[in-house]
Amino acid sequence: MRKIILLTAACFGVLASYAQGLHETDEKLDKQVLALNLDGPAMATVEMQKELLLDQRQAEQVARMNQTRYAQLQQAELTFAKDPIQRAKLMRSINLENDKALKQVLTQQQLHQFLELEGRQNVSYVSENDK
């Protein structure tokens, strides 16, 4: 009985060690981005261009949108630094407006991919409703 328990514990240890090495990463993209000296909007644009396979026209429009969005987000952080609820509402509003603008630039598939990148993959449409 002790041998079985000892063998089971050893198997779990080996399995746990092996599982630590298994993970999907964007290491190639991360290394490319870290090799460049980019600020927030430029980094977002590079990531979107690589992940969403944007054409030249889309990339230019997305770059302008990212510049505007990041400037608005920074202003919101400064304006409502002591009021996290108002800051969150304004940031959500800024992101919603950006999503609406992106809807005009990206294809439906690219928009869905963008929402996945942003961690909002369960959003099926862009709406102002909170419900």
Convert the pLDDT of each residue in 14-61 to its tens digit.
888 777 776 666 677 777 666 666 677 888 888 888 888 999 999 999
* Between 24 and 81, residue with greater pLDDT: 81
Q: What is the mean pLDDT of residues 77-91?
A: 91
Q: How far apart are CA 114 and CA 131, in angstroms?
A: 22
For residue 131, the model assigns a pLDDT of 40
For residue 37, the model assigns a pLDDT of 65
- The CA-atom distances, in angstroms, between 81 and each of 28, 52, 69, 75, 86 are 36, 33, 18, 10, 9
For residue 38, the model assigns a pLDDT of 65
